[in-house]
Homo-oligomer: A and B are copies of this chain.
Amino acid sequence: MPDDPPAPDDIFSAFFLEVGILAQLSRALFSLRLPPGISVSQFTVLNHLVRVGDGGTPLQLARAFQVPKTSMTHSLTVLERHGLIRLAPNPLDGRSKFTFITAEGRAFLQASRAALAPDIRAMGDLFPASRLAGVLPTLTELRRILDAMRDDPSPDQT
C-alpha cells in the first residue's frame, strides 16, 4: 500500500458503505426469522411501541424512524390488518390518530424476539457485545447530526 492519506471523504464513504451493508445484512438475517407476511419494518415499529410506549400518532412514529409518513401509513395498515395494533381516532384532533398495540401484538413481539434470540446469542459468541457498546455512542452522535442536517435544508451557502 503506497498511499494512506487521511482523505476524510474516503472515511465517510467507507463508513456509510459499511453501515449500509450492515443494515442490509442484519435486515436479511432478521427477516428470515420472522413469520412470513411480517417484515422487519413492521417488527421494528412494534418493538418501538413497546419500548417507548404506545398511544402516539403515526406522524410521531414516522419521525422517530425517519421515514416518509406515507411509508408509515403503509406499515401501520399492515400491522392493523394483522391485528397487531389498533388505530383509534384522536378525540382532541379530528385529523389525527392514536396507535396502540394489541395483546396479539405483544404476544407476537414476544415470540419474534424469542425467534431472534439464538442468532443474537450466536453473534454474541463471535463478537463481544461490549465492543459494540463502545461504538454505539459514536453512531448515535452521528445520527443526531444527520438528523439535524435533514431538518435544516441548508447544505452549504454562506
Contact = CB atoms under 8 A, between A and B. Distances in A.
B133 A135 contact: no
A72 B127 CA distance: 30
A12 B149 contact: no
Contacts of A66: 21, 24-25, 28
A18 interface: yes
A141 B140 CA distance: 19
Nearest to A157: B118
A84 to B, nearest CB: 18
A158 to B, nearest CB: 7
Interface string A4-29: 00101101111111111111111111
Interface of A: 6, 8-9, 11-30, 33, 44, 47, 65-67, 117-124, 126-127, 129-136, 138-143, 145-147, 149-150, 155-156, 158
A141 B136 CA distance: 15
Majority DSSP secondary structure for residues of A touching B: helix
Contacts of A135: 15, 135, 138-139
Given A120-B8, A131-B138, A149-B119, A19 B15 contact: no
Nearest to A11: B129
B120 A12 contact: yes
Contacts of A121: 156
Nearest to A141: B127
B23 A20 contact: yes
Nearest to A67: B24
